[in-house]
Structure 1
């Protein structure tokens, strides 16, 4: 029988065959990871159509924001966009339904002012200025004559209630003053021009019908002419 080799003995004896020292000394090849393919950078340049669409959206947002933020301040209170204007008021037309503030800051319904009496509105460009003071004091001096004819007098201007109150106290004006800062009633009466108020006066009968108007009128003449017209109505009644 042929003699067993050493290798065979190791295998049969259960021992694992030994690796050659020459093979073990050879270093394992390095595994170099391949870099992942670079993604194509997206172009930051926008197409003209996209830019145009974004521009429209930005403009729309800007307009909406400005519209929401629009507000004026009158006597320290925020006032939103002006109310719609009234129809023009001419001879034979009636007082409109409109709420204004008086010199005390109280609400006054214009349509109700002539419910029990006739009404004279005299309009001034600006409170506590020379010409307007002349007109206001002239109405003050003959105020009892208007009262005796069952007619109430009102001063109407675009001044704030605070400015009117100060003027009323300073000149001892006995009649109410109405504030129309947006010139809504002033415009309807035809007395607004270029952001200003024309000096004038308007006479309404009891019930609210417009009987007479003077545009423009001189400060000192305004109360005299108004009173003469009222007296002429009684003479022909």
Structure 2
């Protein structure tokens, strides 16, 4: 007898045969999409890591910047280091020599103070501030006795922390015959013991020919300074 066909089986085969097959192009597209997503994720991680590295570098730079400040928060520069070195001139006491130091005179010219005593003695008087009553009194006293000092073999110089332009105006106004030396950082003033608290103590110092400090008056009254300095110079001249 002819063999009967099972309708259920036939239907099942038919359904299997008619089931849609997955497109190769769909699979390829999905793969590409997955690769793109992974690539984007990697780029995002790379950017994040770069940002973190940049931030760390920035913090490190800021830390380095902070390290260039001293304990008080002031910037430490090469200039401030140089200033400290200049300010390290040792104190000048009786018997010590005038050190080599470049200052400006009232004409804004460089003057090596050590060279001032090469051929003659020097009377160096210090004033707190140019063109003020007490300082003018002291300066005019040295002006009036200037010929007496030069005849005894001594030159006279005024030393202050004023700028050359202020000294020049004062010199012209009061007809001062001697040079004025500007020491704005009070380097020499401090070495002489006349600089304290950012101020200059009224005083005078007598240096012999060759630069040795022989006499000092610190502090001294404006009217007494020229007289006492000349009295000491006279005692040296008689020896």
TM above 0.5, yes or no, is: yes
- State the alpha-carbon separation in 2 of the partners of residues 149 and 202 from structure 1: 16
- Which aligned pairs between 1:14-29 and structure 2 lie closer than 5 A? none
**1:60 maps to which of 60, 64, 69:** 64
Structure 1 gap segments, 5+ residues each: 1-25, 72-79
Shift, 1:119, TM fit: 0.3
- Of 165-174 and 83-92, deviating more is 83-92
Q: TM-score, normalised by structure 2?
A: 0.74
Counterparts of 1:207 and 1:68, CA distance in 2: 37
Per-residue CA deviations over 1:95-119 (Å, capped at 9, x if unaligned) read 1011111111111111111111110
Report deviation, 1:56. Answer: 4.1
Give 2:230's match in structure 1, choosing from 218, 227, 231.
227
Match of 1:127 among 126, 130, 138: 130
Q: Write out the 4+ residue segments of structure 1 that deviate beyond 4 Å after TM superposition.
A: 43-47, 62-71
Q: Which moved more, 1:156-165 or 1:83-92?
A: 83-92
Alignment match, 2:139 = 136
Deviation, 1:55, is 3.2
Answer 1 or 2: which has greater helix percent.
Answer: 2
Instruction: Name the counterpart of 1:11.
Output: none
Once the two structures are TM-superposed, the CA of residue 57 in structure 1 deviates from its matched residue by 3.1
For 1:97, the equivalent position in structure 2 comes to 100
CA shift for structure 1 position 141: 1.0
Instruction: Report matched runs for 1:113-124 at 5 Å.
Output: 113-124=116-127
User: How much has 1:81 moved relative to structure 2?
Assistant: 4.2
In structure 2, the residue matched to 1:145 is 148
Match of 2:206 in 1: 203
1:135-163: CA deviations, max 9, x gaps? Answer: 11111111111111111000001111111
Distance 2:211 2:122 in 1: 8
Residue 31 of structure 1 and its aligned partner are, at CA, apart by 2.6
Q: What residue is the counterpart of 2:196 in the other structure? A: 193
Query: Could you tell me how far apart the structure 1 residues matched to 2:118 and 2:64 are?
Result: 48
- Aligned residue pairs total 199
State the Cα distance separating 1:61 from its structure 2 match: 3.7
TM-score normalised per structure 1? 0.74
Q: Please tell me whether residue 109 in structure 1 is matched to residue 104 in structure 2.
A: no
Q: CA deviation at 1:186?
A: 0.6
Match for residue 163 of structure 1? 166
